[in-house]
C-alpha cells in the first residue's frame, strides 16, 4: 500500500501485498500470509487509537500479489482528517521487506453545521441613521462571516464593520437611514455559503411623532455603571458612575449615583409616570439639596423648553437660589467610543447657581442614559466609553482606570 490520501466518501481503502521471489522466475510452492495491525490517528488532538483485529493478505501457492480492503464509512459528520497507520507483523512463509509501516490520510469532505442566529441586541432602531449591534448571538459563526437584514420586497441592508468576536457572537453596524419600518430578518452567512436566519428579529421604526418618555432614555437600576472619558477644566477627565442604592428624599424615591471623579454622589430619579427628578448631591460631607427638585415631565415634546427655580440648601441651611432650563432640541444620533447611538434625545441645558453657571449640550440614548456631554462655554467634553445598564453592556468592558484628582482643578467660564 503506498502512502497517500483518500476521502471519507470513497468507501474503501485498498492494501496490496507483493511477494518478491528469492529466485527470479520460480513461483512459490507454499501459501504465504502477511498481516498488518492498524490504528487511526487524529492530527487535531494528536491522539492515536488502535483498531481491534488485523488486516491480512493470504497468497496461495503460485500467487505473488494479493489485496485486502478497509471499509471507510461515508458519513455526513464534520470531523478532523484522520490518518490510517498500518504496521506489518511477521509474515508466514516470507520475510518482511524494507518498508513495514504505511500511512494514508482520510480527509473529511463534510461541511460543518450551518450557523444559527438566536438573538440580537438592540432589537430595534429608528430609521434616522446608523445603529451599532453589540450582541448578535448564535452558534457556528466563522471568521469572515457576513451579516445582513432582509425583508420581502425591500433591498437588503448589509452590515458593516462586521467583527466575529467568537463562534457565538458578532458585532456590526447597520445604516437604517430611510429603511422601511417593520420587522426584518437577520441573516448570518459563513464563508462556506451556509447561513442562519433570525426571522423578524429586528424592528425598524420611524419617529414621525414628537412625544418621548424620559424613562426610556434615563434607565436606573441598582448596580448599573457608566464609564466616561474626556476633558474638564482644561485637563483629562475620566469617571465611573455607579447606581448604588435606591433611597428616599422628602418622601420621593431617588437613586444614589456615586462617581470616582469627585466623590460627590448625586440623587436622581426617572419614572415613566412622574418623569425625571434631580434632588441634589453630597459634597465634602455636606448635603446639597434643591428644595424644589429639577423636574421634567415623563412625556416630552421636541422643541419644548422646561424650566424652573429652586432654593439651594446645604445641610438644611439656605445658601442661594438656582435657576435652570432644559430644551429638547432634537432626536438624533451620536458616535462615541462605546458605539453608535442613533436614538438620542439631544438637550440644551442651562443651570445658574450664584458663582457658577453651566451651559452644555446633553445626549441621552434610549436604554442607556447620558452618552455625551459638551460644554457650550468651554472646550470641556466627555463621551461614554463603556456601560452596563440594567444588565445590558455597551462598549468594550474596561479595566477602567479611575481618576481621583485633576490639575488644574479650577477654570473660568467666561
> Over 70: is that where the pLDDT of 408 sits?
no
Residue 143 lies in a domain: yes
| pLDDT tens digits for range 323-380 | 999 998 877 778 888 888 878 888 999 999 877 889 999 999 999 999 999 999 999 9
Residue 138's pLDDT is 96
| pLDDT tens digits for range 269-287 | 999 999 999 999 998 889 9
Whether residues 251 and 124 fall in one domain: no
Question: 19 falls in which pLDDT band (50, 70, 90)?
Answer: low
Residue 382 lies in a domain: yes
| pLDDT tens digits for range 90-139 | 777 777 777 778 777 777 666 788 999 999 988 887 787 778 787 899 99
* Rounded Cα gap, residues 349 and 345, in angstroms: 12
Residue 47's pLDDT is 53
Whether residues 24 and 156 fall in one domain: no
Whether residues 161 and 224 fall in one domain: no
Whether residues 260 and 374 fall in one domain: yes
Residue 414's pLDDT is 46
| pLDDT tens digits for range 166-221 | 999 999 998 888 889 899 999 999 999 999 999 999 988 876 556 889 999 999 99
Whether residues 311 and 387 fall in one domain: yes
Place of cell 481491534: 52
Whether residues 101 and 138 fall in one domain: no
Residue 37's pLDDT is 65
- For residue 340, report the phi and psi dihedrals to the nearest 5 degrees: -90, 125
Last residue of a domain, one of 154, 182, 205: 205
What domain count does the chain have? 3
> Over 80: is that where the pLDDT of 239 sits?
yes
Residue 51's pLDDT is 55
Residue 20: give its domain's CATH number: 2.60.40.2030
- Identify the domain containing residue 123 by its residue range: 116-205
Whether residues 120 and 100 fall in one domain: no
> Over 50: is that where the pLDDT of 401 sits?
no
Residue 412 lies in a domain: no
Residue 405 lies in a domain: no
> Over 50: is that where the pLDDT of 404 sits?
no
Residue 162: give its domain's CATH number: 2.60.40.10
Residue 402's pLDDT is 44
pTM for the whole structure: 0.51
| pLDDT tens digits for range 247-267 | 999 899 999 999 998 889 999
Residue 340's pLDDT is 82
**What percentage of residues in the chain have a pLDDT greater than 90?**
49
Interacting residues of 246 by C-beta distance below 8 A, sequence separation 6+: 222, 253, 254, 255, 256
Comparison of pLDDT for 14 and 264, the residue scoring more:
264
Q: What is the DSSP string of 196-238?
A: EEEEEEEEEE---S-EEEGGGTS---TT-EEEEEEEETTEEEE
Whether residues 100 and 150 fall in one domain: no
Whether residues 201 and 216 fall in one domain: no
Interacting residues of 399 by C-beta distance below 8 A, sequence separation 6+: none
Whether residues 353 and 258 fall in one domain: yes
Whether residues 80 and 181 fall in one domain: no
Whether residues 34 and 78 fall in one domain: yes
Sign of the four-CA dihedral 146, 151, 153, 157: negative
Residue 305: give its domain's CATH number: 2.40.360
| Average pLDDT value over all residues in the chain | 82
Asked if residues 129 and 207 have their Cβ atoms less than 8 Å apart, the reply is no
* Rounded Cα gap, residues 108 and 74, in angstroms: 10
Residue 24's pLDDT is 55
> Over 60: is that where the pLDDT of 22 sits?
no
Comparison of pLDDT for 239 and 110, the residue scoring more:
239
Amino acid at each position: 500500500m503506498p502512502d497517500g490520501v483518500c476521502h471519507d466518501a470513497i468507501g474503501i481503502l485498498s492494501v496490496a501485498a507483493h511477494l518478491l521471489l528469492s529466485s527470479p522466475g520460480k513461483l512459490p510452492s507454499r501459501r504465504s500470509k502477511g498481516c498488518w495491525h492498524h490504528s487511526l490517528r487524529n492530527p487535531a488532538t494528536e491522539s492515536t487509537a488502535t483498531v481491534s483485529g488485523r488486516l491480512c493478505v493470504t497468497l496461495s501457492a503460485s500467487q505473488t500479489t494479493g489485496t485486502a480492503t478497509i471499509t471507510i464509512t461515508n458519513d455526513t459528520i464534520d470531523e478532523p482528517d484522520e490518518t490510517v497507520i498500518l504496521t506489518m507483523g511477521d509474515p508466514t512463509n516470507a520475510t518482511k521487506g524494507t518498508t513495514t509501516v504505511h500511512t494514508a490520510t482520510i480527509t473529511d469532505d463534510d461541511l460543518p453545521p450551518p450557523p444559527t442566529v438566536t438573538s440580537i441586541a438592540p432589537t430595534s432602531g429608528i430609521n434616522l441613521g446608523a445603529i451599532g449591534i453589540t450582541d448578535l448571538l448564535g452558534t457556528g459563526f466563522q471568521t469572515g462571516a457576513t451579516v445582513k437584514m432582509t425583508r420581502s420586497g425591500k433591498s437588503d441592508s448589509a452590515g458593516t464593520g462586521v467583527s466575529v468576536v467568537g463562534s457565538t457572537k458578532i458585532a456590526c453596524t447597520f445604516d437604517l437611514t430611510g429603511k422601511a419600518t417593520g420587522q426584518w430578518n437577520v441573516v448570518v452567512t459563513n464563508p462556506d455559503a451556509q447561513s442562519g436566519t433570525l426571522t423578524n428579529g429586528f424592528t425598524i421604526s420611524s419617529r414621525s411623532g414628537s412625544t418621548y418618555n424620559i424613562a426610556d432614555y434615563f434607565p436606573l437600576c441598582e448596580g448599573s455603571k457608566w464609564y466616561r472619558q474626556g476633558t474638564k477644566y482644561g485637563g483629562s477627565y475620566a469617571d465611573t458612575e455607579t447606581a448604588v442604592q435606591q433611597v428616599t428624599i422628602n418622601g420621593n424615591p431617588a437613586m444614589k449615583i456615586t462617581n470616582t471623579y469627585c466623590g460627590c454622589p448625586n440623587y436622581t430619579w426617572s419614572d415613566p409616570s412622574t418623569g425625571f427628578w434631580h434632588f441634589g448631591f453630597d459634597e465634602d460631607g455636606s448635603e446639597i439639596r434643591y428644595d424644589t427638585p429639577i423636574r421634567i415631565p415623563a412625556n416630552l415634546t421636541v422643541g419644548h423648553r422646561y424650566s424652573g427655580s429652586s432654593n439651594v440648601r446645604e445641610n438644611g441651611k439656605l445658601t442661594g437660589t438656582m435657576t435652570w432650563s432644559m430644551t429638547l432640541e432634537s432626536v438624533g444620533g451620536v458616535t462615541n467610543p462605546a458605539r453608535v447611538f442613533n436614538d438620542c434625545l439631544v438637550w440644551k441645558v442651562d443651570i445658574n447657581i450664584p458663582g457658577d453657571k453651566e451651559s452644555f449640550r446633553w445626549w441621552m440614548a434610549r436604554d442607556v442614559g447620558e452618552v455625551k456631554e459638551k460644554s457650550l462655554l468651554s472646550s470641556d467634553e466627555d463621551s461614554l466609553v463603556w456601560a452596563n445598564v440594567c444588565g445590558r453592556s455597551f462598549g468594550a468592558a474596561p479595566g477602567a482606570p479611575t481618576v481621583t484628582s485633576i490639575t488644574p482643578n479650577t477654570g473660568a467660564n467666561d
